[in-house]
Structure formats: C-alpha cells, structure tokens
C-alpha cells in the first residue's frame, strides 16, 4: 500500500507543481481566488490519493482466485466507519463554505475612491463608457492599484464579461445591470473575453483590459475628453443647421 501511495502521490503532486495551470495574475482579488482554489485542490488531492490507494490495493489484494465462483462473505455495514466518513466531509465542506464566504466578502467590499465604468455588451463587441467625462472606448483602460467597479449591461442577448487575469467574470443580461469589482495591481495588457455563447461572432468578442500608471491613465482620459469636445464643436448642433439664414 505504501508503494501505491508513493506512486499515486507523486503523480498527483507532480501534476500540480509541474503544469502551469493558471493564467497570469494581475489583481488583488485574484490572489484570494487562487489561494482558495489551491486550498480546494490540495484537500481534493489528499482525498484522491487516499481513495485511489485503497481502491487499487483492494482490487489487487482481494481478487478472486482463478475458478473461484463463490460469493464473498456478507457484510452488513460498519457504523463507526460510516460516522467517520460522514463527519470528515461535512467538516471539510463547512470549512470551504466559510473560506469562500470570507473571500467573497473581501473581494466585493467597495473602496471609496473606486473608478466607475459602464460596460455595454453587444453582438459582438464591448463598449466601455466613462460616465464622469462622457468618454467611450473599445478597450477597458484602468489605473493600477485602484479598485474598478463595472456596471454591466447588454443591448441584445446575454454576454459574459470575463477578465482571466483578474479572476472575475460577470454576466451581461438585457434589462438589468450587473456589477463587477476588481483591483488591478500590475501594469499591462490583459484579455477580456465574452464567456457566454452569444451568436456567430461570439469567438471574436474579445478586447483588452489595459492597466496603466495613474498618470498615464489621467493623460489618456483627458486626451479622450478633449477629442470628444473637439468633435462636438466640429459638428454643428442640429438647431444651428435648421435655423434659416436671415
């Protein structure tokens, strides 16, 4: 049994450590999500190794002799064993539930200085609107080390806004507004992916989350704002064109 445990244990631990399972991480919440994931993984790994070792050992040790057609001895349960294998999973489950609630509470706690951005999902693109300055962008540009709160809507069918590097995902549902909170902690470009099959162009419904230094972000925002104002001046308001000369 020790030999089987060694082999199964080595394969399980090797798979966990040698393969790079998770995408790049770039958010504060992502660290907590990953910690929870790895806790679940290691608990599951121990149970997997225990069950597999007993299973493989039992198949080999209690195999029937060739030509043996008899039934095995009748077994009528084992109260002590049944109590143990009920209590241990129940306690484990309770621990996981409590940890998950703690992580969820921490990840969804709103910071006072958060950046608020409206996101609209439509077949097959994302539109980001910066409400305070009336700017719209196809990329999600955010400053580093500041919490971002997205208000997500959909204009046609259900989409899902997913930023793997932040470990957050939220449905965009026509008729309602959903929220998503994350705090980027690393400057860089990260993928934004639609994670809900939404039509023929679903596979290309992708854009970038661009995490910028705060100064660069402010510069981009004021440049975008200036462009909006310049465009508004270049296009006369409808009233001006309708008014007859003289």
**Which token pair is 154?**
């959909």
Judged by CB under 5 A, the chain residues 36 through 95 that form the site for Cu ion are none
**Nearer CB in complex with Cu ion: 36/205:** 205
CA neighbor of 26 nearest in space, from 166, 167, 170: 166
194 binds Cu ion (CB under 5 A): yes
153 binds Cu ion (CB under 5 A): no
**Nearer CB in complex with Cu ion: 26/194:** 194
Q: What pairing do the DSSP bridges indicate for beta strands 178-182 and 148-154?
A: antiparallel
Burial label, 4 (beta-carbon count in 10 A; 0-12, 13-18, 19+): middle
**Which token pair is 241?**
């064109």
Judged by CB under 5 A, the chain residues 157 through 186 that form the site for Cu ion are 159
- CA atoms of 22 and 19, how far apart (whole Å): 9
**Which token pair is 244?**
């007859």
Q: Which of 154, 163, 198, 212 binds Cu ion (CB under 5 A)?
A: 198
Q: Shortest distance, CB of residue 172 to Cu ion, whole angstroms?
A: 8
Q: Please, what is the Cα angle at 166 between 141 and 173, to 5 degrees?
A: 80
**Nearer CB in complex with Cu ion: 32/206:** 206
Q: Shortest distance, CB of residue 159 to Cu ion, whole angstroms?
A: 3
- CA atoms of 24 and 75, how far apart (whole Å): 52
Q: Which of 165, 180, 205, 210 binds Cu ion (CB under 5 A)?
A: 205
**Nearer CB in complex with Cu ion: 29/196:** 196
Q: Shortest distance, CB of residue 193 to Cu ion, whole angstroms?
A: 9
What φ, ψ does residue 191 adopt, rounded to 5°?
-75, 140
- CA atoms of 186 and 28, how far apart (whole Å): 9
**Nearer CB in complex with Cu ion: 198/211:** 198
By rule CB under 5 A, what count of residues binds Cu ion?
A: 4
Q: Shortest distance, CB of residue 117 to Cu ion, whole angstroms?
A: 18
Helix, strand or coil, per DSSP, at residue 114: coil
Q: Shortest distance, CB of residue 205 to Cu ion, whole angstroms?
A: 4
**Nearer CB in complex with Cu ion: 89/174:** 174
119 binds Cu ion (CB under 5 A): no
Burial label, 121 (beta-carbon count in 10 A; 0-12, 13-18, 19+): buried
Q: Shortest distance, CB of residue 119 to Cu ion, whole angstroms?
A: 12
| Interface with Cu ion (CB under 5 A) | 159, 194, 198, 205
């Amino acid at each position: 049994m020790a030999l089987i445990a060694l082999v199964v244990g080595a394969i399980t631990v090797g798979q966990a450590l040698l393969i790079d399972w998770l995408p790049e991480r770039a958010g504060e919440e992502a660290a907590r999500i990953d910690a929870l994931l790895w806790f679940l993984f290691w608990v599951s790994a121990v149970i997997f190794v225990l069950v597999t070792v007993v299973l493989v050992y039992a198949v080999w040790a209690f195999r029937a002799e060739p030509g043996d057609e008899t039934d095995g001895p009748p077994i009528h349960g084992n109260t002590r064993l049944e109590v143990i294998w009920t209590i241990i999973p129940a306690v484990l489950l309770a621990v996981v539930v409590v940890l998950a609630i703690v992580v969820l509470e921490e990840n969804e706690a709103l910071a006072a200085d958060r950046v608020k951005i409206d996101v609209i999902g439509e077949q097959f693109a994302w539109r980001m609107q910066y409400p305070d300055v009336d700017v719209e962008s196809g990329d999600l540009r955010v400053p580093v080390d500041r919490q971002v709160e997205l208000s997500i809507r959909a204009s046609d069918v259900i989409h899902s806004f997913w930023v793997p590097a932040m470990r957050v995902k939220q449905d965009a549902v026509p008729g309602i507004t959903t929220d998503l909170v994350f705090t980027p902690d690393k400057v860089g470009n990260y993928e934004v992916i639609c994670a809900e099959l939404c039509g023929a162009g679903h596979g290309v419904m992708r854009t970038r989350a661009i995490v910028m230094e705060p100064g660069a972000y402010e510069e981009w925002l004021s440049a975008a704002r200036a462009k909006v104002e310049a465009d508004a001046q270049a296009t006369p308001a409808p009233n001006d064109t309708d008014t007859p000369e003289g």
